[in-house]
Amino acid sequence: MNMQCEHDLEATRQKLKRLQEHYERRLRDASDHSRARELSLRSLKSMMNQLTEEIVRYETHTQAK
């Protein structure tokens, strides 16, 4: 996703917040130690990193203008 405006930035921040909350819930779920849980956590972390990078890229680009 290439952010084009502040609205996109805010939407991406909200997505990141929801992913972080979901990640924390899955992390605390001590009843499930399956391979699926491990892969789910890894996938969530990857998506969180991607969104964080997009936010940083947008903010850096915006500040450079």
**What are the backbone angles phi and psi of residue 33, rounded to the nearest 5°?**
-120, 35
The predicted pLDDT at position 8 comes to 95
pTM beyond 0.85: the answer is yes
Query: Are the CB atoms for 61 and 22 separated by under 8 Å?
Result: no
The CB-based long-range contact list for 49-53 (8 Å cut-off, 24+ gap) reads 51/12, 51/15, 51/16, 51/19, 52/16
Question: What averages of pLDDT result for each successive group of 10 residues across the chain (65 residues)?
Answer: 88 98 90 86 97 95 83
Q: Give the separation between CA 56 and CA 8, rounded to whole angstroms.
A: 13
Q: Give the separation between CA 63 and CA 20, rounded to whole angstroms.
A: 26
